[in-house]
Chains A and B, each alone.
Chain A
Amino acid sequence: MPVVMDADRIGRSLMRIAHEILERNRGIENLALVGIRARGVPLAARLAANLQAAGGAAVPIGTLDITLYRDDLMKHQVGPQPILRRTDIPFSLDGKIIILVDDVLYTGRTIRAALDALIDFGRPSAIQLVALVDRGHRELPIRADYVGRNVPTSRQQTVQVHLAETDGHDEVEVHDMEVAP
């Protein structure tokens, strides 16, 4: 299976993205990170460490579960319904620049749900999106502000992100979906 990002490339991408965030927002002030469960959470934590190293200050970090904001609650006859996990945003979003972090940007529906959820928590001055991988095929007018790598894919493929914190090692792979016999 083709590996499109290895550990080294993931690490360098996250460092570059941290610098881009600082450059675009002219510093670290007023920034806060929110990771989307599951793999946006460790990515947000790594970005927070990078931002602290480069910007010299700690950035508040939160965790978002978007299960209750999905638009496909009734459409899971085949796949399993996602398990609801805890959302934990221990700071006010009002007036902050929220850096929303997810592993793969695909249809954009997860991000649509995350935006709805964030707005329920307060009124940030801006929301910017980080995606480790952008695989295309958007179904909504959503784009990422910071991308680790653009990976052209077909809809018949799946993108699997492995992270040390959740899966034991860092790697991004593209698989061909098994066709049902």
Chain B
Amino acid sequence: MTELTRLRSRHLLGITDLAPDEIELILNTAEAMKEIGTRTIKKVPALRGRTVVNLFFEASTRTRLSFELAEKRLSADTMGITAVGSSVSKGETLADTARTLEAMSPDLIVIRHASSGAPHLLARICKAGIVNAGDGSHEHPTQALLDALTIRERKGRLAGLKVAIIGDLLHSRVLRSNVLLLTRMGAEVRACGPATLIPQGLTSFGVHVTTSIDEAVTGADVVMMLRVQHERMHGLFLPSVREYFTLFGLTPKRLERAASDVIVMHPGPMNRGVEIDSAVADGPWSVILDQVANGVAVRMAVLYLLAGEDVT
């Protein structure tokens, strides 16, 4: 069997479109990209002369900076547009913004949007390759890929691992992308959160769903905490932050039930004292800062693999 050398699509819209060999290709490429971050001159000419547009319609610090750094390390020319201070705040529709950008013929467009499916709309309109940097409560593929890279680095594999994902399951695109990726790669996923924040149909993805954090953590090789997304909660989901921490917050005591070499992850930004105790976030289990470093490498890999496609 010949090794896969390129992605089958020229877009990265979600993990749902990726086959296991494509996930492996991205992770292996990202592993090679990591070395560039250790050099004195942290830059390679691979995407010289390519234009990448970063369209961030929703607040984002780490994902936007991570993509920008990845683009710069590959020598791409980058432009950033945020919702505030652009034509978007003057009432332009996404489709019109996309057509305007298209006229400037960028090679790749990275988009973060509060509406699920926004990158898919762009993919239909634009000739450029589209990278989904998070769309509403739908998918956040590069986050799941960087999580997978971090797990693989620490555990040497994904298949057979017990992964507990805990927190606001309902609003989390990180959950969706991670569930798709981890189950596809043969990991056993348990999801845990308050009953009001469990989406319907989650079990149909092959996930064990529970409201008991102790049950979710028991024997886990990886514990992934999700942020409580106050900004997406337009109803009464939680009685109080204190009660949430008491029932679902990750503490050193709760971690005792996990595997002895458990790692703790968080996609950020963290709410200390809400979903995670500071002693855990800063403790020996935490690989949260590894995730940030791996984020740049994974995004370099994705941009490189998509830019190498025949974009005509």
Residues of A with Cβ closer than 8 Å to B? Answer: 65, 67-70, 73-74, 76-77, 80-88, 116-117, 120-122
Which of A69, A73, A84 has a CB less than 8 Å from the CB of B307? Answer: A73
Within 8 A of A (CB), among B254-312: 301, 304, 307-308, 310-311
Of A65, A82, A120, most buried by chain B (CB within 10 Å of CB) is: A120
Chain A CB within 8 A of B79 CB:
no
B5 touches A74 (CB 8 A): no
What's the least CB distance linking B182 to chain A, in Å? 24
Measured between beta carbons, the chain B residues less than 8 angstroms from A117 are 44
A68 touches B35 (CB 8 A): no
Closest 9 CB pairs of A and B: A68-B44, A80-B5, A68-B46, A84-B32, A86-B32, A120-B41, A81-B308, A84-B29, A81-B6
Which of B31, B301, B311 has a CB less than 8 Å from the CB of A86? Answer: B31
B44 touches A120 (CB 8 A): yes
Can you spell out 24 A-B residue pairs with CB atoms less than 8 angstroms apart? A65-B32, A68-B36, A68-B74, A69-B44, A69-B46, A73-B308, A74-B311, A81-B5, A82-B5, A83-B29, A84-B32, A84-B33, A84-B301, A84-B304, A85-B32, A86-B32, A88-B35, A117-B44, A120-B39, A120-B41, A121-B39, A121-B40, A121-B41, A122-B40
Measured between beta carbons, the chain B residues less than 8 angstroms from A116 are 45
Chain A CB within 8 A of B231 CB:
no
Give the complex CA separation of A121 and B41 in angstroms: 7
Residues of B with Cβ closer than 8 Å to A? Answer: 3, 5-6, 25, 28-29, 31-33, 35-36, 39-41, 43-47, 74, 301, 304, 307-308, 310-311
A80 touches B6 (CB 8 A): yes
What's the least CB distance linking B306 to chain A, in Å? 11
Give the complex CA separation of A176 and B232 in angstroms: 64
Q: Who on chain A is nearest to B2 by CB?
A: A80
Of B6, B44, B74, most buried by chain A (CB within 10 Å of CB) is: B44
Q: Who on chain B is nearest to A117 by CB?
A: B44
Measured between beta carbons, the chain B residues less than 8 angstroms from A76 are 308
What 17 additional pairs, Cβ within 8 angstroms, besides A68-B45, A80-B6?
Answer: A67-B46, A68-B46, A69-B45, A69-B46, A73-B307, A74-B308, A74-B311, A76-B308, A77-B310, A83-B3, A83-B25, A84-B33, A86-B35, A87-B35, A88-B35, A120-B41, A121-B39
Give the complex CA separation of A77 and B309 in angstroms: 8
Q: Who on chain B is nearest to A120 by CB?
A: B41
Give the complex CA separation of A122 and B308 in angstroms: 28
Measured between beta carbons, the chain A residues less than 8 angstroms from B301 are 84
Give the complex CA separation of A67 and B3 in angstroms: 16
Give the complex CA separation of A117 and B304 in angstroms: 17
Measured between beta carbons, the chain A residues less than 8 angstroms from B36 are 68, 87
B46 touches A83 (CB 8 A): no
Measured between beta carbons, the chain A residues less than 8 angstroms from B25 are 83
Measured between beta carbons, the chain A residues less than 8 angstroms from B29 are 83-84
Measured between beta carbons, the chain A residues less than 8 angstroms from B40 are 121-122
What's the least CB distance linking B260 to chain A, in Å? 30
Measured between beta carbons, the chain B residues less than 8 angstroms from A82 are 5
Measured between beta carbons, the chain B residues less than 8 angstroms from A120 are 39, 41, 43-44
Give the complex CA separation of A60 and B249 in angstroms: 50
Of A70, A84, A85, A86, most buried by chain B (CB within 10 Å of CB) is: A84
Give the complex CA separation of A82 and B3 in angstroms: 10
Give the complex CA separation of A77 and B10 in angstroms: 13
What's the least CB distance linking A179 to chain B, in Å? 22
B39 touches A73 (CB 8 A): no
Measured between beta carbons, the chain B residues less than 8 angstroms from A70 are 46
What's the least CB distance linking A80 to chain B, in Å? 4
Give the complex CA separation of A76 and B312 in angstroms: 13
Q: Who on chain B is nearest to A87 by CB?
A: B35
